[in-house]
């Protein structure tokens, strides 16, 4: 089956998508559409259903009773490119496979003609002109992610702001009123008092932003950042759909909140701050509607720790660096091991141990060490 995808992106990031499907032999086909698709049309007319995928950044398009060998469908994608901090990020909020059934074809992405710089790590593409990218693919293919900027574009990020008693939440305006936005605020408010008391924190309110996939390696290497100086949090936008619905995405939120509540830990080794963040995230999850899956998520982390025990020596690096972050095998093992350590410390001394740092480390000596500080944790 041949499937060609064609994306036309305007100067605001709004994207028109046209898909041609040829050499069809099946009577039904499935495709993934970005969660924010609009105005879907299929030619020739066909019976189809949309199957919502809870906590995913995409929904499933199922075309039924096909009796032709070729068809096309098209839709609008209002957040096809997400502007953030001087760049547009293509597919900055959604990550999905372009074909569920193995296929071959081309992916053509036409950017605005005043595009003057494109940064892309994706392999195997051609560039017939300064503003068009073409990818040839076979089998299945994730949507490409890259960033670009225009010769004339606004320098102001247009993010929606949602506020509550303890949360300032910023996100792409197209997400206003979506259930995952409301759930993000809800789970933070639901656990705020417990987090504040447990961690002896002074944070109020938290500044949280859902930012594009690919920004600062979010989505590719990290799920989120917490900046110790400002205690602001950035989480990759592809995880927003699972907030309050998916255990891993929601645990990520609590992990970053723990960092924001404990800025003193910047002076301590990475394994210690990460151990606290990992363990606290699971315990916070148990105080939400995802309580039933919190235990199994923690157990999966322990299993990863057992499997990765051979990498134990890496976690003692004072401040974790790309030796850990750039290794797809060591990184999950490091977080799994710290989850185990956090659980051990909690059972040994309770959460009160988190507030007795001088009894665990000599903080004066630690602060005198000439160690580089990243200013952010993951």
- Which two structure tokens, joined as six digits, stand for 230? 């400002």
Average pLDDT over residues 290-315: 88
Whole-model pTM? 0.90
- Are residues 136 and 51 located together in one domain of the fold? yes
Name the token pair of 167: 């949360």
Kindly indicate the confidence band of residue 307, based on its pLDDT and cuts at 50, 70 and 90.
confident
Q: Do 167 and 87 share a structural domain?
A: no
Looking at 95, 121, 148, the residue that finishes a domain is 148
In a domain, 121, yes or no: yes
Q: Is residue 260 part of a domain?
A: yes
Determine what percent of the chain falls in helix, strand and coil, rounding each to the nearest 5: 35, 30, 35
Maximal C-alpha separation, the chain? 75
Domain annotation covers residue 179: yes
Q: 174 and 211: one domain?
A: yes
What is the reported pLDDT for 151?
Answer: 92
Domain identity same for 28 and 119: yes
Which of 296, 129, 331 shows the shortest CA–CA distance to 222?
331
Query: 310: phi > 0 → left, psi -120 to 50 → alpha, else beta; which?
Result: alpha
Q: Give domain status of residue 313, yes or no.
A: yes
Report how far residue 145's alpha carbon sits from residue 8's, in angstroms, rounded to the nearest whole number: 15
Residues 175 and 105 in one domain: no
User: Is the pLDDT confidence value at 369 over 50?
Assistant: no
- Domain total in the chain: 2
Judgement on whether residues 178 and 141 belong to the same structural domain of the protein: no
CATH number, domain at 43?
2.60.40
User: At residue 143, what are phi and psi to the nearest 5 degrees?
Assistant: -60, 140
Residue 154 lies in a domain: no
Do 64 and 111 sit in the same domain of this protein? yes
Judge if 272 and 184 occupy the same domain: yes
Q: Are residues 56 and 173 in the same domain?
A: no
Under a CB-based contact definition with an 8 Å cutoff, are residues 195 and 225 in contact?
Answer: no
Q: Which tens digit of pLDDT belongs to each residue from 97-110?
A: 887 888 899 999 99
Q: Is residue 153 part of a domain?
A: no
Structural domain that includes position 349: 160-377
Same domain as 227, residue 292: yes
Q: What is the pLDDT of residue 309?
A: 82
The pLDDT of residue 371 is above 50: no
Tell me how far apart the alpha carbons of residues 180 and 124 are, in angstroms, rounded to a whole number.
35
Residue 319, Cβ density class (10 Å: 0-12 exposed, 13-18 middle, ≥19 buried)? middle
The mean per-residue pLDDT over the stretch 207-213 comes to: 97
Residue 127 sits in the same domain as residue 166: no
- 36 assigned to some structural domain: yes
Q: How confident is the model at residue 360 (pLDDT cuts 50, 70, 90)?
A: low
- What pLDDT sits at residue 189? 96
Whether 285 is in a domain gets the answer: yes
CATH number for 355: 1.10.390.10
Examine the fold and report which residue of 89, 119, 148 is the final residue of a domain before the chain moves on. Answer: 148
Each residue's pLDDT tens digit, 120-141: 988 789 999 999 999 999 888 8
Where b means 16+ CB within 10 Å and e means fewer, 39-58 reads eeebeeebebeeeeeebbbb
- The pLDDT assigned to 372 comes to 44
Q: Which of 128, 148, 168 is the last residue of a domain?
A: 148
Beta partners for 222? 218
Residues 6-48: tens digit of each pLDDT: 999 999 999 999 999 999 999 999 999 999 999 999 999 999 9
Does 219 lie in the same domain as 116? no
């Amino acid at each position: 089956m041949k499937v060609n995808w064609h994306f036309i992106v305007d100067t605001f990031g709004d994207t028109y998508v046209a898909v041609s499907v040829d050499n069809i032999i099946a009577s039904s086909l499935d495709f993934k559409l970005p969660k924010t698709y609009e105005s879907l049309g299929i030619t020739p007319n066909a019976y189809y259903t949309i199957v919502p995928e809870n906590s995913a950044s995409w929904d499933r398009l199922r075309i039924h009773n096909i009796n032709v060998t070729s068809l096309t469908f098209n839709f609008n994608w209002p957040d096809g490119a997400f502007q953030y901090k001087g760049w547009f990020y293509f597919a900055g909020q959604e990550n999905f496979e372009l074909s569920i059934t193995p296929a071959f074809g081309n992916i053509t992405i036409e950017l605005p003609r005043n595009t003057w710089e494109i940064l892309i790590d994706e392999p195997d593409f051609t560039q017939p002109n300064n503003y068009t990218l073409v990818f040839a693919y076979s089998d299945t293919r994730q949507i490409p992610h890259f960033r670009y900027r225009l010769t004339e574009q606004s320098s102001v990020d247009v993010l929606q702001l949602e506020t509550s008693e303890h949360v300032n939440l910023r996100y792409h305006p197209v997400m206003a009123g979506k259930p995952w936005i409301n759930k993000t605020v809800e789970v933070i408010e639901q656990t705020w008092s417990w987090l504040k008391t447990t961690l002896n924190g002074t944070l109020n309110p938290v500044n949280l932003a859902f930012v594009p996939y690919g920004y600062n390696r979010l989505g590719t290497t990290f799920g989120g950042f917490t900046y110790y100086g400002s205690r602001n949090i950035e989480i990759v936008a592809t995880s927003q759909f699972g907030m309050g619905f998916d255990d891993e995405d929601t645990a990520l939120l609590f992990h970053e909140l723990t960092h924001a509540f404990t800025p003193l830990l910047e002076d301590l080794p990475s394994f210690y701050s990460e151990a606290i963040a990992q363990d606290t995230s699971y315990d916070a999850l148990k105080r939400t509607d995802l309580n039933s899956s919190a235990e199994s998520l923690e157990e999966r982390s322990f299993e990863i720790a057992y499997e990765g025990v051979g990498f134990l020596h890496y976690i003692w690096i004072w401040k974790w660096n790309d030796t850990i972050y750039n290794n797809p095998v060591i990184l999950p093992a490091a977080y799994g091991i710290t989850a185990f350590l956090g659980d051990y410390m909690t059972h040994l001394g309770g959460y009160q141990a988190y507030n007795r740092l001088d009894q665990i480390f000599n903080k004066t000596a630690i602060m005198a060490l000439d160690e580089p500080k990243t200013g952010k944790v993951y």
